[in-house]
Amino acid sequence: MNKFIVLLAVLAAGCGAGGYKADIVTPPANLGNLDAVVVYPFTFRYKYDAYESYEKVQDEISLLVDWGKALVFGPDDFTIFGNKLKSLDPYATTNLLPKMKNNDLDLNSVVAFRGWSEEHVQATQKRAFTSTGKKAGAVVHRKRILVCHLEVIYPATRRLLFEIMGTIVQNPYADPVEWDETPGLTRMHRNMVKSAMKRLGDYFTFPGSMPDPGIDYLVNYKSLFTYTVEGKKTLKEILKEKDMLDREAEIQVRYRYFYPELKYKEITFFQKNPAGLLIKKIHNKALTGVGLQPGDLLLSWCGINLTGPHRLVRAIVKSSKSRTCRIDALRNGKNVSFDLRAKN
């Protein structure tokens, strides 16, 4: 089986220099058409908070949805049994089997993305001397190196198709980004996801492309506050330990990871309302025709709760197979519903 290396230099502005390489095994000849990507929880093999995992997962989901070639399933769509995060057999260690069948997906048409990061600290010691040459102790320099991995798994054969691995040297003197302590790692991880999508692109053959919802929206990532992985405290639990001012500041910072330009008014709106998609603009006349308006918060579509963009795409695919589809939304604090009918 042929192997080849792709080496790409990456400059991580503000966080040191690094690079990543992909040790890619040529996909087997029997790898057929692909339709879906399952995104596993992102894990860190060093101290971290659950919300950091959630943020990396949403990065993967957003990039895959924007790519427009695959149905996407996130950690909110399936359950991992026991401590089986590292298994190469997703169908045996999760409840994905019925989820795939419920979405009319061939079990051979699915791949899984599993990202994780590890940390290495290198310490060097330099002796210090006075102006007269006398020993004056030693200075210890520590270099923090973060290693990011993205594994692409083929559940049907329980094998690793390929893994992309990269390193980033953390610059302790760089100006911090308020909502991201390791922006270099974030950029590298996003580039890895794009690289994986490019490598798999020819295998995804959804007719044309994924349907365009016809709206511009902002996601209210409300599940950020209750997400947990590996027994970590939820963000909601962490916030309870802070005083009121620090709590409000942390909430704003966490929302701005996803939308750096998000206004205080919008953050307040998201805090007070359930998970959903806040409509900013509508391009689809069928949606305005049933009564949807900018400012509506979409809650569910065809029975699918809209906790993220991946669920909206799946909901639209589902509605294309139905004669009518109910859309639930929130408008000015009141629940409203609309019936979207399929075109004849």
Place of tokens 């919008």: 266
pLDDT category at 23 given cuts 50, 70, 90 is low
Q: Lowest-confidence range among 26-40, 60-74, 91-105, 314-328?
A: 26-40
Do 12 and 18 form a contact (C-beta atoms < 8 A)?
yes
Domains of the chain: 3-203 (3.30.160), 215-341 (2.30.42.10)
Q: Phi and psi (nearest 5°) for 242?
A: -100, 160
CA distance 284 to 249: 37
Q: Dig out the tokens for 324 from the structure.
A: 């009518």
User: What is the percent of the chain where pLDDT is above 90?
Assistant: 66
For residues 143 and 248, the model is more confident at: 248
pLDDT category at 10 given cuts 50, 70, 90 is very low
Residue 212, pLDDT score: 80
User: What is the percent of the chain where pLDDT is above 70?
Assistant: 87
CA distance 236 to 223: 10
Distance of CA 104 to the CA centre of its chain: 24
- Report the greatest alpha carbon distance in the chain: 92
Residue 4, pLDDT score: 31
Q: Lowest-confidence range among 28-42, 206-220, 294-308?
A: 206-220
Amino acid at 115: G
Residue 299, pLDDT score: 98
* Secondary structure (3-state) at 36: strand
pLDDT tens-digit profile of 92-104?
999 999 999 999 9
Do 299 and 315 form a contact (C-beta atoms < 8 A)?
no
Q: Which of 224, 201, 218, 191 is nearest to 297 (CA)?
A: 218
pLDDT of 3 above 60: no
Do 15 and 174 form a contact (C-beta atoms < 8 A)?
yes
Q: Which of 133, 235, 151, 148 is nearest to 186 (CA)?
A: 148
CA torsion sign, 267 to 273 to 276 to 279?
Answer: negative
For residue 300, count other CB atoms closer than 10 A to its CB. Answer: 17
Q: If residue 54 lies in a helix (H) or strand (E), which one and from where to where?
A: helix 50-67
pLDDT of 205 above 80: no
pLDDT tens-digit profile of 150-204?
999 999 999 999 999 999 888 777 767 889 989 999 999 999 999 999 999 889 9
CA distance 138 to 202: 56
pLDDT category at 75 given cuts 50, 70, 90 is very high
Angle value at C-alpha 164, between 15 and 70, nearest 5 degrees: 110
Do 210 and 68 form a contact (C-beta atoms < 8 A)?
yes
DSSP one-letter code for 130: -
For residues 137 and 108, the model is more confident at: 108
Q: Which of 218, 330, 308, 215 is nearest to 263 (CA)?
A: 218
Do 150 and 115 form a contact (C-beta atoms < 8 A)?
yes
Q: Which of 39, 23, 20 is nearest to 309 (CA)?
A: 39
CA distance between the termini of the chain: 50
Residue 20, pLDDT score: 53
Residue 139, pLDDT score: 67
